Amino acid sequence: MAQQRPPVSREQDPFSGNFSQERVTPAAASWPVLQWHGGLASLVGDAETVKINGGFFIEDDRIAELGLDAAYPALGFERLALRLGGKQIPGWGAAMLHLAFIFTDFSWEDRETGRLRFPPTEYERRKQQVPGTERELRGRTRALVAVKELLDEGVVEPLVLSVRGSYSAALNAILRESKRMADEATRLRRRAGHDGSIPREAFWLPVYAGIMEDVGEGANTSRVALPKVDLPTDLNRDLLVQHLVEETHRRPGGTFDQWAQLYADSWQEKAAHGGGEEVDGYVPNGATFERYVEEPY
């Protein structure tokens, strides 16, 4: 065992003095990751194996960052473990969660490396200038989200959901639904004689795992469960009210305003530089999920 270095007195420690703080680089903000798995796995119980249809997953380390005890899943979650490459990663799984979207962005990345990020206009630019090369791109959508089930447990910070490919396209469809809710609520507000608009973050969207379906093309075809939201074509007042976020979160100066003020700069910084340090928001092929059983001491 390495010998522990004795403490250094303030008089002897050169780092204990005064240093200018004017140009110190602040620590970059990071958020616990909310992952999505597409049902490419099985859930192993005591007596039988049940196929997973997909859903959300949060690792134990991320649960601890949220100030929760991983041994006691919040309502809507269950105890699961991801097994990947022989390593077991315990956490919580959920087939459906209620999300509100604070920040979102979209970019294209190189299909092979996944490391190079391009602006939303890149696909059309390639299609027009070098036809065929647009197929080398794969979309990525990032979202900073509030999770109702976690807020109800007293969690005071958002999570980041970052998905690509078919999952990205499915998440973009969900974002269009959230905008549709906000637009209709704004129309009702103005018809009643009130100024201003209602943002999409004012509504909880129940996002769930759809039935297994084939996605991709050719050799890249996979059978997965995509994230879905079911809303009627005609949105009425009662439905919108039913999905409203609690006032303490959506009011001026409320939870979401505080998050936006605290994280806006960091979110834009990550968007500009690709957010390369973030963990991917989906579980890779070849992973399996098992009911998690604590090892006896």
pLDDT in tens, 174-189: 999 999 999 999 999 9
pLDDT surpassing 50 at residue 148: yes
Mean pLDDT for 275-280 is: 43
Largest CA distance in the chain: 73
pLDDT at 103 over 60: yes
Stronger pLDDT, 284 or 17, i.e. the higher one: 17
Q: Which whole-number Å values give the CA distances from 98 to 158, 161, 169, 201, in the listed order?
A: 13, 13, 19, 12
Confidence of residue 1 (pLDDT cuts 50, 70, 90): very low
Top-confidence range, 37-51, 98-112, 244-258:
244-258
Looking at residue 292, its pLDDT comes to 40
Lowest mean pLDDT among 182-196, 210-224, 231-245: 210-224
- Rounded average pLDDT over 278-297: 41
* Contact between 54 and 37 (Cβ < 8 Å): yes
Of the listed ranges 99-108, 125-134, 169-178, 204-213, the least confidently predicted one is 125-134
Q: How many CA atoms lie within 13 A of 141 on its CB side?
A: 19
- Side-chain-facing half-sphere of 78: CA atoms under 13 Å: 14
Checking if the pLDDT of 6 tops 60, the result is no
Phi, psi of 44 (to 5 degrees): -95, 120
Q: What digits encode the pLDDT tens for the residues 52-102?
A: 567 999 999 999 999 999 999 999 999 987 766 677 788 999 999 999 999
Contact in structure between 78 and 95 (CB atoms under 8 Å)? no
What's the whole-model pTM score? Answer: 0.78
Q: How far, in Å, are 107, 115, 130, 134, 212 from residue 125 at the CA level?
A: 13, 19, 8, 8, 33
Question: In the chain, what are the domain boundaries?
Answer: 29-291
Instruction: Check pLDDT > 80 for residue 36.
Output: yes
Is pLDDT above 90 for 277? no
Burial class (CB in 10 A: 0-12, 13-18, 19+), 218: exposed
For residue 129, pLDDT beyond 50: yes
pLDDT at residue 119 tops 80: no
**pLDDT average, residue stretch 114-122:** 66
Q: What is the pLDDT of residue 31?
A: 82
What is residue 268's predicted lDDT score, i.e. its pLDDT?
A: 80
The pLDDT value given to residue 290: 43
